[in-house]
Amino acid sequence: MTVLEGWWAYVFIAIAGWLATDLWRWLGVLAGNRLREDSEALNWVRAVATALVAAVIAKLILYPTGVLEHSPLWLRLGAVGLGALAFFIGGRKPAIGIATAIAVLAIGLWALGF
């Protein structure tokens, strides 16, 4: 088997992946130009996006993998709670909340010996 023998599979994956995502991006641009910021359709899209982010965060907290799998639930919940508190106190800046949550989690993991 030569090095170039299986190259077409990678080209196919790249083209198929590009078409699958780029098509939806262009349709989003076309549809987005016609939507008002206060439209019900855009409110629904925001709600779905927020729900997906919340679901991913909940999965990471409740069913973690890797090092977090061995960390206690109270530490993960505490890090998220303190991060949320810092977010609101810090003027609703996401970077402040995320940095606080990561710092609390890192310090907690270090203190527990992970």
**Per-residue pLDDT averaged across 88-108, rounded?**
97
pTM confidence score: 0.67
Given a contact cutoff of 8 angstroms between Cβ atoms, the answer to whether 90 and 61 are in contact is: no
Domain segments of the chain: what residues? 1-34, 37-64, 65-114
**Per-residue pLDDT averaged across 75-103, rounded?**
97
- At 91, is the pLDDT very low, low, confident or very high (cuts 50, 70, 90)? very high
| Distance (Å, whole) CA 57 – CA 50 | 11
Given a contact cutoff of 8 angstroms between Cβ atoms, the answer to whether 73 and 63 are in contact is: no
Given a contact cutoff of 8 angstroms between Cβ atoms, the answer to whether 67 and 114 are in contact is: yes
Q: Is 114 helix (H, G, I), strand (E, B) or coil?
A: coil
Q: For residue range 16-73, what is the model confidence (pLDDT) as tens digits?
A: 888 888 888 888 888 878 888 888 988 998 999 999 999 999 999 999 999 899 999 9
